[in-house]
Amino acid sequence: MRVLNLSTGFNPFQSSIEEIESKSFLFSGGEVHIKLQGSADDVLISTRLNDSNDIMKLLLAVDALRRSGTKNISVFIPYLPYARQDRVMVAGEPLSIKVMCNLINSCGFEKVYVYDVHSEVSLALLENCELISNYSLVKEVLKDRTDYLLVSPDAGALKKIYKLAEALTYTDDIVLCNKVRDVSNGRIKQITVDQDDLQGKDCFIIDDICDGGATFVGVAKELKKRNAGKVSLIVSHGIMSHGETELVDWIDHIYTTDSIKDTQSALISRISLSDLIQL
């Protein structure tokens, strides 16, 4: 087997496996192009699909490999685009995750590895899909810590956190939060917490994605009202689309992976997926 890493600087399989080199560029009309420096019977592709060019580059790479005689191709897509667009809210909108999965399925992959995907709808739509959980990330962050609390930021995260707590042999209470949105504008009106006194314990909010971070800021505010110690966030995919300005006032630290980007800061630690996964 050989590895083809399509995203510059992203190599989640740092090992003795030989890598296929590639070059890509844009034609004058804006079309992305790729040229591979070799092939193999079995190839594992890794890629961050951060924009449409990345998606097209993956499709082109698969075609180039097939034309070079590659028989078996698998792919690791750590952050699956459109996983949050898993339903049609109003007439006239697409079912975006189905469109994305249809594109990936068209490649005929032997395996499609995804990391802590947002929606189970994705798993139903992707063929030959294998989900990698966030267990190793959370275990790495908490390995030297004692007397802490796990926090579920909303109902959507609850099922995953119960499974995670069982895998970690965590025996303390899980702090359950919930949010109420204003249906007219989507903004969070209220966040509830099921405990009144957190006894100064450090709290770790766990979820799959941090985009703007409004939910986590709201949860952190409520936790600190209830005598929480430090409030940290463990998220598999750190988008941080609004930067750190609001987060830094309420979140003591953020632990995430390099599934989307590499940037680190005093607030954000990105743990390499090469240290967390083994396929």
**What pTM was computed for the model?**
0.94
pLDDT for 186:
67
Fold of 2-132: Rossmann fold (3.40.50)
pLDDT for 184:
67
Contact residues for 247 (Cβ-Cβ < 8 A; gap 6+):
213, 216, 217, 233, 240, 254, 267
Q: Are 65 and 101 spatial neighbours (Cβ–Cβ below 8 Å)?
A: no
pLDDT for 174:
95
Contact residues for 104 (Cβ-Cβ < 8 A; gap 6+):
75, 77, 112, 126
Topology alike, domains 2-132 and 135-275: yes
Where exactly are the structural domains of the chain? Answer: 2-132, 135-275
Fold of 135-275: Rossmann fold (3.40.50)
Q: Which residues of the chain have pLDDT under 50?
A: none
Residue 4 pairs in a beta bridge with 45
pLDDT digits (tens, 9 = 90+) for 168-202: 999 999 999 998 877 666 678 789 999 999 999 99
pLDDT for 279:
76
Closest CA to 35 of 71, 68, 1: 68
Q: How far is CA 264 from the centre of its chain?
A: 16
pLDDT for 78:
98
pLDDT for 17:
80
